[in-house]
A and B are shown apart, each in its own frame.
Chain A
Amino acid sequence: MSETPSRPAGSETPPTGPGAETPPEAIKAIKLRHPWRMVLAIVLAAIAVLFIVDAAVNRPVYNWPEVGKYLFDVRVIEAAGYTLQLTIYSMVIAILLGVALAVMRLSPNPVVKSVAWAYLWLFRGTPVYVQLVFWGLIGVIYKTIDIGIPFTEPWVSFDTSDLFSYFFLAVIGLALNEAAYMAEIVRAGLLAVDKGQDEAATALGLGWWHTMSRVILPQAMRVIIPPTGNEVISMLKTTSLVTAVPFSLELFTRTSDIAAKTYQPVPMLIVASIWYLAITSILMVGQYYLERHFAKGVDQRPAPQKPTVETSAMAAVEPGELPGVVPPSNRPGGGA
């Protein structure tokens, strides 16, 4: 330690005269040590290294060469494509339907409101796996889809199982379930926007649609995007359930099918996991840029609050006009 006095001012002679103008000396303190943090860090690092070395050398079941062989297999890449498509299509439908449901839940009409509420109750209250099985059976429940006037001979009639592919049913099943969750996320976003925004837009003469699309929703997006990112990633993994429909060309089912032939389930699980992780990583990058876009105008630091125009006070009362009242401009401290 240097000779610099470290005791607080007061015990020494306080600096006076021109010396007081120099900036105060920076504190030179000895860093507080955290020995247990060090120990924990070393233990964690050691466990990680051990696990990796063990996995690479001692565990033949992982069969890394097999992982390498199938990672870029055409069937696997195709399956990853299907998984990505299922995720994107169902999320896009879910978001649109979710916005509609959120707006319906905020509607002043009690019927509209109740319909949205009942939808949420039904689709959030049942497992998505059960819903997917139901969608798979739609051709059994509704054999034909008829267009016409009810209780009369239909004009056109479609065979349901011809009309909808399993892929289509999987997308619908995932989307309708997800829409219930998206509705709540969107509603939270809409409620987070200050009421003054709606009033300002209304006062300008904007209609409901313009107010919503230009003023409210863009601001609600800041609240909506982070949980929606969560939902997208969650959806990516939920696509592995569409085998219930049964749609079998997505990543998990496809790799399981390959494993059933090679009798090596573990490497194929790793292949699927690597693809899920890769897609998740890409989605996270996308989320970062979206968040940055909708943070426009939010994270700026305000300028210091200084008057930018020379102004003078206006007197409410001429001096002496009202007995006992001093105009603000003549009071100590003045007034504006």
Chain B
Amino acid sequence: MNAAETPMVKAEAVSKAYGSNTVLRSISLEVKRGEVLCLVGPSGSGKSTFLRCINHLETVSAGRLSVDGSLVGYRQHGDKIYELHPKDAAKQRRDIGMVFQRFNLFPHMTAVENVMLAPTLLKKGQPKGQVKARALELLARVGLAERSDYYPSQLSGGQQQRVAIARALAMEPKLMLFDEPTSALDPELVGEVLEVMKELAKSGMTMIVVTHEMGFAREVADTLVFMDGGVVVEQGDPREVLSNPQHQRTRAFLSKVL
């Protein structure tokens, strides 16, 4: 299979259990390069857990999950599977950017320092001036060029989340994960974050977005996946799923959130 055809994310019967509590049951889906996939569903449906499995913040209990052709958190040799050394797992994560619901910016660093941290530490040999120029470029891209020297506590929620997006982009990931990026924001600040994400999608970034923003899903997503109780209930073109849901469960959920 050539590289262009390898799906960016491929999940085959991925399951996850905490003890006897199964949170993901046999999830199978594919995300192609440049595709935007929106995961929706009620809280506790497993969508955030699935997202966290993709960059190995959680480990998968069963099934296969691979990003860009290589297993997440494991290494296959013959028919044996080995756990990855933390160093290699960290290396794997550098290609995957993640944005959190609560932003999780580093409060003791300014916006530009937040963006510069990972490249400064991990891209050795790159001159500091170049790293900084690149960080400022990213901040400009999310509309925050003038706030680069502000600490997170001096920024609004929407601005913080945009810095977080810039920070995630700093390692030049090939895949971006968004875990309810607008759920912790005041309603009037949601738009500015979605706008940045929309621009990112247009630029061809592969994105998986856990969200409750159906308008965003409809406009930007290529695929909408509805999850409930740890299973994928329904997936397809977002316009189709939103306006003509096939399953009773999807219909019930959409009638509440739309």
Q: A-side interface residues toward B, CB under 8 Å?
A: 194, 196-197, 199-208, 210, 214-215, 218-219, 294, 296-309, 311-318, 321-322, 324-325, 327-329, 335-336
How far is A316 from B156 in the complex, measured between Cα atoms in Å? 26
A-B contact count (CB 8 A): 161
Which residues of B lie under 8 Å from residue A207 when comparing CB positions? 86-87, 90
Report the minimal beta-carbon distance from B244 to chain A, rounded to whole angstroms. Answer: 8
Tell which of A202, A204, A309, A321 has the most Cβ of chain B within 10 Å. Answer: A204
Which residues of B lie under 8 Å from residue A318 when comparing CB positions? 243
Which residues of B lie under 8 Å from residue A327 when comparing CB positions? 215, 258
Given that A202-B93, A316-B217, A325-B255 are known contacts, is A303 also in contact with B154, CB under 8 Å in the complex? yes
**B1 part of interface (Cβ distance < 8 Å):** no
B 69-90 binary contact with A (CB < 8 Å = 1; else 0)? 0000000000000000011001
How far is A174 from B117 in the complex, measured between Cα atoms in Å? 38
How far is A302 from B151 in the complex, measured between Cα atoms in Å? 9
Q: Determine if A305 and B157 form an interchain contact, defined as CB atoms under 8 angstroms apart.
A: yes
Q: Determine if B121 and A335 form an interchain contact, defined as CB atoms under 8 angstroms apart.
A: no
Q: Which residue from chain B places its CB closest to the CB of A293 in the assembled complex?
A: B108
Tell which of A197, A311, A312, A318 has the most Cβ of chain B within 10 Å. Answer: A311
Known contacts A202-B93, A311-B195; can you find 12 more A-B pairs with CB under 8 A? A203-B55, A203-B100, A205-B91, A206-B117, A301-B154, A304-B156, A305-B158, A306-B188, A307-B192, A316-B218, A317-B242, A322-B254
Q: Which residue from chain B places its CB closest to the CB of A194 in the assembled complex?
A: B104
Q: Determine if B104 and A199 form an interchain contact, defined as CB atoms under 8 angstroms apart.
A: yes
Interface of B is mostly: helix
Report the minimal beta-carbon distance from B166 to chain A, rounded to whole angstroms. Answer: 12
**B133 part of interface (Cβ distance < 8 Å):** no
Tell which of A207, A294, A296, A307 has the most Cβ of chain B within 10 Å. Answer: A307
Q: Determine if A307 and B189 form an interchain contact, defined as CB atoms under 8 angstroms apart.
A: yes
27 interchain pairs, CB-CB under 8 A = A194-B104, A197-B104, A197-B106, A199-B100, A203-B57, A203-B96, A203-B168, A204-B94, A205-B118, A206-B117, A210-B121, A296-B151, A299-B153, A300-B153, A302-B155, A303-B155, A308-B159, A308-B192, A309-B158, A309-B191, A311-B194, A311-B195, A317-B214, A317-B218, A322-B254, A324-B255, A329-B215
Q: Determine if A199 and B192 form an interchain contact, defined as CB atoms under 8 angstroms apart.
A: no
Q: Determine if A196 and B157 form an interchain contact, defined as CB atoms under 8 angstroms apart.
A: no
Report the minimal beta-carbon distance from B145 to chain A, rounded to whole angstroms. Answer: 12
Q: List B residues 208-247 near A (Cβ within 8 Å).
A: 213-219, 242-243
Which residues of A lie under 8 Å from residue B254 when comparing CB positions? 322, 325
Per a CB cutoff under 8 Å, which of A201, A215, A305, A322 touches B258?
A322
How far is A204 from B143 in the complex, measured between Cα atoms in Å? 22
Which residues of B lie under 8 Å from residue A302 when comparing CB positions? 153-156
Report the minimal beta-carbon distance from B31 to chain A, rounded to whole angstroms. Answer: 18
Q: Determine if A303 and B156 form an interchain contact, defined as CB atoms under 8 angstroms apart.
A: yes
Report the minimal beta-carbon distance from B192 to chain A, rounded to whole angstroms. Answer: 4
